[in-house]
Structure 1
Amino acid sequence: MQLPLFPLQLYLLPGGISKLRIFEPRYTRLVKLAMASGEGFGLCMKDGETLCHFGTRAIITDFEQLPDGLLGITVKGVEKYVINKHWQEEDALRFGDVTPLSNWSPTEIKFVDRDISSSLKALFEEYPEHAANYPMPDYNDMTWVCQRWLELLPLETNQKQWFMSRSDHRAALSFLHSVIDDQLKKNQ
């Protein structure tokens, strides 16, 4: 699959939703291509000037003209991918030949994992502007919960890439237990 690429430090996983401001001509072109193809575009992170291997294919779910006259788009992560090769065109828009990766399967929450889910719910209640992106949150799907936590936590790029390379949510869940369980113990 060939996708136009949007290098950002935004970490968006499947099911994740974010709003972007488009102001460069090359990214206006990316939006047009993504809308015309119906396949969306590839969000990818950079490590310095180097594109990272893993990214998320995103589709545009809404757009608007912002008060400052710029284009605002709402995007939703669809699936992870790995970049096989990439290139840059004359207008500096990047493209990539990518291979889609399987999404993590939805997983029913277990009793032992309830604190991770309830902590995310509390965080969304504290920050309603972020929660507004998710009118139908799925706090009972551990995969969904893990992905939203990974998007929010201040992780290094290499850590984010490592989690993206995993075939399921278990490594993320283990990591979240260490972070959240420790925080809950400190607060007691």
Structure 2
Amino acid sequence: MQLPLFPLDIYLLPNGICKLRIYEQRYIRLVKLATTNHHGFGLCMKIDDTLCHFGTRAIITDFDPLPDGFISITIKGVEMFLINNHWQDSDHLYIGDTSPVPNWHSKGINFIDQSISDNLQQLFQQHPDHARYYPEPKFDDITWVCQRWLEILPLEVNQKQWFMSRNDCSAALSFLHTVISNNANLK
């Protein structure tokens, strides 16, 4: 699938939601393309000046013109993808030839994983501005919980890319148990 690409330092996974402020002409064009192609656009990261291999296809769920002439969009991650090839148009908008990567399957919470979900719920309570993006959170789905944790933790780009290359949430869950256990022991 050919997608317009938006390289940002934002890590968004399937079912993740965030807001973006759009002001550059090339990204205004990206918004137009994303709303007319019905596939959305690709959100991807960069290391130095190089696009990373994995990204997330996002759709625009809300659109607001801003008083300064810019626009605000709310986006939702749909599926991960692999960039096979990319190029830049004359206005420097990246376009990529992408292949979908299977989404991690939903999985119920095991007793041993409940603390991962409980800690995310506490974080959402402490940050209602972030929680409002998720009016129907899925704290009973360990895959959804792991993806939200990965989006908000301060990880290096190569770590984020590695998690995206996994077939399921197992590696993320193992990592989160280590991180949350270590932080619980520090209290």
After TM superposition, the score normalised by the length of structure 2 is: 0.99
Matched with 1:175 is 175
The 3-state SS of whatever aligns with 1:161 is helix
Q: Kindly provide the CA deviation profile for residues 12-31 of structure 1, in whole angstroms up to 9, marking residues without a partner as x.
A: 00000000000000000000
CA root-mean-square deviation: 0.6
Residue 130 (structure 2) pairs with residue 125 (structure 1): no
Task: Tell me the distance in 1 between the aligned counterparts of 2:84 and 2:34.
Answer: 20
1:60-71 aligned within 5 A:
60-71=60-71
Matched with 2:143 is 143
The 3-state SS of whatever aligns with 1:75 is strand
Task: Tell me the distance in 2 between the aligned counterparts of 1:182 and 1:52.
Answer: 30
Structure-2 change in CA distance of 1:124 and 1:67 (3 Å): farther
What is the CA distance between 1:65 and its match in structure 2? 1.4
Task: Tell me the distance in 2 between the aligned counterparts of 1:59 and 1:82.
Answer: 17
Task: Tell me the distance in 1 between the aligned counterparts of 2:112 and 2:66.
Answer: 44
The 3-state SS of whatever aligns with 1:52 is strand
Structure 1 runs of 4+ off > 6 angstroms? none
What is the CA distance between 1:144 and its match in structure 2? 0.1
Aligned residues: 187
Unaligned runs of 5+ in 2: none
Matched with 2:8 is 8
Q: Kindly provide the CA deviation profile for residues 64-114 of structure 1, in whole angstroms up to 9, marking residues without a partner as x.
A: 012433100000000000000000000111100000010000000000001
Task: Tell me the distance in 1 between the aligned counterparts of 2:118 and 2:51.
Answer: 35
Matched with 1:104 is 104
Unaligned runs of 5+ in 1: none
Task: Tell me the distance in 2 between the aligned counterparts of 1:81 and 1:176.
Answer: 23
Q: Kindly provide the CA deviation profile for residues 27-51 of structure 1, in whole angstroms up to 9, marking residues without a partner as x.
A: 0000000000110000000000000
The 3-state SS of whatever aligns with 1:68 is coil
Percent of aligned pairs with the same amino acid: 63
